Amino acid sequence: MDVVELLPQLHLLRFRVGQAYLWRDGTELTLIDAGPTGADADIGEAIRALGHPPGSLRRIVLTHFHDDHVGGAGELARATGAEVLAHCLDAPVVRGEVPGPPPVLEDWEIPLHAEAAKHLPPGGFARPQSVTELSDGEVLDFGDGARVVHVPGHTHGGIALHLPRHGVLFTGDAVAASPVDGSVLLGVFNVDRARAITSFHRLAALETDVACFGHGDPVLGQAAAALRETADGYRAAR
């Protein structure tokens, strides 16, 4: 796992598939997404390497239910006492109460999806013992007020987190960055592409300077302009 400082209070944690983000408020940490199965050990090591005790991790906010974002959450929560949070529509999937709906793949996505699956650990993962359910518009107690933005499309209960006082946006997989040139893209593997496009436009309307994606390099300046440029292209294509 790679650990990259994006801002003094923000680090990117990059796994073989996907990534997570660690936000610091003084001595208190918030993790946005938790990586695939087994990532908990690497995340715990990163927290200690950054000079924080494991108990400083207060919450783990999951942007959606996919394995590469929630696999480490259960073990991390047990080790640190952190609260796990997810949108009310995805929380039952995270808890293992119901199966998650599969994506409706475009033809060109089928080989990409098969290739990505090869890099995920086989088998299941430890489920969090409890998951606090979130709704659109809630404000969480980190980042001077982190607003929950419901962005259905990738999953039914996908969320983004907007920190308006810092100009930071965590998009989950609603948005991605191209591994080729870093350009901003609509996230792939969606359950409802039309709703995903609508959600993309909602995120593009926010005032954002730094945008952090579930896959691909973050945009570290003038992120709103990059999001709006891409959103305009999807509008034109509809």
- pLDDT of amino acid 115: 87
Structure tokens at 51: 């000079």
Q: Which tokens go with 35? A: 């990586």
**Residue 154 clears pLDDT 50, i.e. is over it:** yes
Here the tokens at position 92 are: 């039952």
Sequence ranges of the domains in the chain:
2-237
Cα end-to-end distance, the chain, whole Å: 38
Express each pLDDT in 97-143 by its tens digit.
Answer: 999 999 999 999 999 899 888 888 877 889 998 999 999 999 999 99
* CATH fold group of domain 2-237: Metallo-beta-lactamase; Chain A (3.60.15)
Nearest to 212 by CA among 159, 176, 185: 176
Judge whether residue 21 has pLDDT over 60: yes
- Partnered with residue 163 across adjacent β-strands are 168
CA nearest to 185, candidates 221, 152, 150, 229: 229
Q: Which helix (H) or strand (E) covers residue 43, if one does? A: helix 39-49
